[in-house]
Amino acid sequence: MEERLYDLIFIVRPATPEDEVKKVEHTVEHACSDKGAKIEKTEHWGTRKLAYKVAKHREGIYVYYQIRTSHNDLIVELERRLKVQDNVIKYLTIRLDEDLKRQKKLTAIRDKRAARRPKRPAPTPAPAPAPAPAPVAAAPAPSHPAEQPPAS
């Protein structure tokens, strides 16, 4: 089975002591090590304001993990454990490898199309415009006899 890459973000209540947050982090790390997953990145984003109220809280402590695993049941287990935790008010798991695969495929298609297209020749500099001819003085136009005033 191929390895998959996941982002896991969870939000802990803002009043939670630091050792309780570490306990939740340890739970996630322990579950990953049991299933043979590799935690590639761990970031503690700290307390941030939420976009909307979640469980009557306007802010929360964010924790981010990037996990590589070949077991899909690991994600189900992580989400189950986070759901049981009282301190966790929200969590989200996103599978990244599908997006990366799609992005590589689109890049390959774009490169293939670019290779098929004929190369455009370099633009040649436009010739300098010819100087405008000097204006010719116009002779007075003969007036029409009907327009002349009658002679008295």
pLDDT on residue 129 = 73
pLDDT on residue 139 = 58
Task: Report residue 22 as tokens.
Answer: 């570490």
pLDDT on residue 3 = 85
The whole-angstrom distance between residue 64's C-alpha and the CA centroid of its chain comes to 18
> What's the start-to-end Cα distance of the chain, in Å?
116
Which pTM value belongs to this model?
0.64
Q: What residues pair up with 60 in beta bridges, in sequence order?
A: 48
Q: How confident is the prediction along the chain (152 residues), in pLDDT tens digits per residue?
A: 688 899 999 999 999 999 999 999 999 999 999 988 899 999 999 999 999 998 899 999 999 999 999 888 898 999 999 999 899 999 999 988 877 778 888 888 888 888 887 777 767 776 767 776 767 666 565 566 656 666 65
